[in-house]
Amino acid sequence: MDKQKDIILVTGATGNQGGAVARHLLKSGYKVKAMTRNPQSEKAGMFKALGAEIVQGDYDDPASLERALTGVWGAFAVQNTWEAGVAREEEQGKRFAEIARSKGVYHFVYNSVGSAHRSTGIPHFENKWRIEQTVRGLKFPSYTILRPVFFMDNFVSPSFLPGLLEGKLRVGLRPETALQMIAVDDIGKFGFLAFSRHEEMKGVELDIAGDRHTMPETAKLLGLALGRQIDFEETPKEEVRKWSADYAVMLEWFDSVGYNVDIPALAKKYDVRLTTLADWASRVNWQAKKAA
């Protein structure tokens, strides 16, 4: 790779995971095309200011993907199950990979999900496994698959934040279940490594995590950062199932099986300082979250 000439296309650049990858690449002087459906958005403007070329692209519009992928050396692909749905996400992931191969992309990085390869039976894990199989079958000159676990950043999403601000961490997990988790910024670190050390990362399929806690432990750590007591409250899985059968199946799998990343070995092998939940929580601007 010629850092001064070769271009990396990052999809979902105005979202969390793609944005983290784009920031790490731009900070290190890589040439980045940031793909977004809305090039006029405020977030797109932020990446333009950082030096990215902003390109319009929509996973459901093949012509826009062909334009975005023209002339790029590498591509980072991430899709959103909760926005697209399981079936449509699979279509989007396969379509993007196929077009990337046809446009001559050399190094393809697919952002999957932790344990996608372990026959979990979770619909939005199984569809990513099928996308992975498509990526392998396309025989890119080089590819990397990253599999992040549960995001720490989910705790500031609308699913969790209102409860936390009321002093409750409501999750459909048993109190003894230890959940592996990762900061989205750490996904950015590994996305960066997948390109900056692409020769080493060729053909690598890597599950990534940064910390592991039960929900009572998580409540205590979040409470320390928030400056108030947070109590864990187990949500019945049947209540979860009413709004998402897929999510309920995932929670059941967390309770019975769970992710299995060797976190210390991961940090040592790739020389990455992984973010602990305590560190992540201490960096959140909770005052701004309260005011929002």
**What pLDDT was estimated at residue 87?**
96
Q: Within its chain, how far is the Cα of 24 from the centroid?
A: 14
Which whole-number Å values give the CA distances from 282 to 33, 157, 169, 216, 276, in the listed order? 32, 16, 17, 18, 10
Q: Residue 82 has what pLDDT?
A: 85
Q: What is the identity of the amino acid at 138?
A: L
Query: What SS3 state is found at 223?
Result: helix
Alpha helical stretches, state H, the chain: 16-27, 42-49, 62-69, 81-84, 86-102, 123-137, 161-165, 184-196, 198-201, 215-226, 237-243, 245-256, 263-270, 277-283, 286-291
pLDDT tens column, 186-233: 999 999 999 999 999 999 999 999 999 999 999 999 999 999 999 999
List per-residue pLDDT tens for the chain, 292 residues long: 877 789 999 999 999 999 999 999 999 999 999 999 999 999 999 999 999 999 999 999 999 999 999 999 999 999 998 888 999 999 999 999 999 999 999 999 999 999 999 999 999 999 999 999 999 999 999 999 999 999 999 999 999 999 999 999 999 999 999 999 999 999 999 999 999 999 999 999 999 999 999 999 999 999 999 999 999 999 999 999 999 999 999 999 999 999 999 999 999 999 999 999 999 999 999 888 877 6
Q: What domains sit in the chain, N to C, each tagged with a CATH number?
A: 7-151+183-210+261-274 (3.40.50.720)
CA distance 271 to 172: 34
Q: How far apart are CA 274 and CA 192, in angstroms?
A: 14
